[in-house]
A and B are shown apart, each in its own frame.
Chain A
Amino acid sequence: MTDEFQINRNQSWMHSKRFWVIYIVAIIACKVLFSVLVPTYEYDWLTITLLHAVITFFGFHWQKGIPFFQAGWSQGKYSRLTLWEQIDRGQQYTPTRKFFTIIPIILFMITLHSNGYKGIPFYINAIASFVIVLSKMPRMDRVRLFGINKY
């Protein structure tokens, strides 16, 4: 496979451990920002979880192909794959995938702890986290439910 020797710059940045640290620090920074700017706001973790879910859903599971680089070398190989499906050339349960799967789970747990298991906040939290974690499961690789976002 010629693919073995080509670096897909669309996803290669995700494997860096430094980036993981920055990712976690950014989430904590958001929390700190909420605490400093609006100390009385009680749904800060919920907001972060929801924002994280929405952003990563569209970033990882909606946008297909290689949007930011010249992709002539790939000969359209990735044009139908989302960013999540391009990671590690489709290998499942790799460290990068595990990391980005565990992050929303932990966010869900934190939000659960701070906002409880009842009422609308819980449902928002649960649904957002469920969708985002489900999309990352190996079973969902290259599956387009009900043909949504198929082409």
Chain B
Amino acid sequence: MIDPHLLLSGVIFGLSMGSIFFLMAIGLSLCFGLMRIISLDQLLYYAIGAYLTYTISSLVGNVWIGVLAGVAVSGLTAFLIERFVFLRIYARDITFSMITSFGILIGGIGVIKAIWGLVPRPVEVPIEAQINLLGTEIPIYRLVVIAIAIAVYWGIWLFLNKTIIGKAIRAGIEDVEHVEGLGINVYRLFTLTFVIAGAMSGLAGGLNAPLIMVDPNMGLEILAFVFMVVIIGGLGSIKGTFVSAFLVGQVVSIGSLIYAPLAQMAPFAIMLLILLIKPTGLYGSAMLKR
């Protein structure tokens, strides 16, 4: 049996990893739900957020300012890309957006390589302190990451359920044409959703930067896990994304405690299992053909 201290720190590790997955996957999921696009370029905003965190925090000396700058710049980049690229392809088939956004992702990685070079960059952890939880030393920073993810989930839930714009977005996920019929400019909603998604990805990158090394291909490295989260949760479902993000985080973390290579394989096995039972994922609905 696993040592309980090891297990507890494994669970916290899994939760913090799940938080990052959630912040990444929420953007993909929202974009798919509302606009019916698969926006692989979210992984680019993730890398941008991390690199901005690196640059600003080494300039200013405060990681949190770096994270904020990362969020702002990723949101801005998302806005520009939405205006210049996605606006032209909303009406096209879903595969179309997937190919185009993959192009943006690869091209953006090229830009990052041109600006920051190929060398992996370290970012210092903003909170070094550890807290004693049931006799196990837990880094506070990981707890902060988890808290931020939960706050974001709560904030997005409030936004979607309590504000009129959020309600319009939820209605758009059900049926975009009806929302348009009500006289709401859906393209404004699209832009807003896309920028929120991009900013969330940037936040994920900024928060994850102190936990890993920042390198140009970091988006591609997390790609598989983010997709597993989105697929397991069901494309377009926020609750599903939340549940499956923490599920995948736990599976990776606990799996690596039991048998290290398992960490990479186990989520895939779970994904296949869930897709076999329910081809639309845990919370995905069958209405997704528009």
Asked if A and B bind, the verdict is no
Which A positions have Cβ atoms within 8 angstroms of B?
none
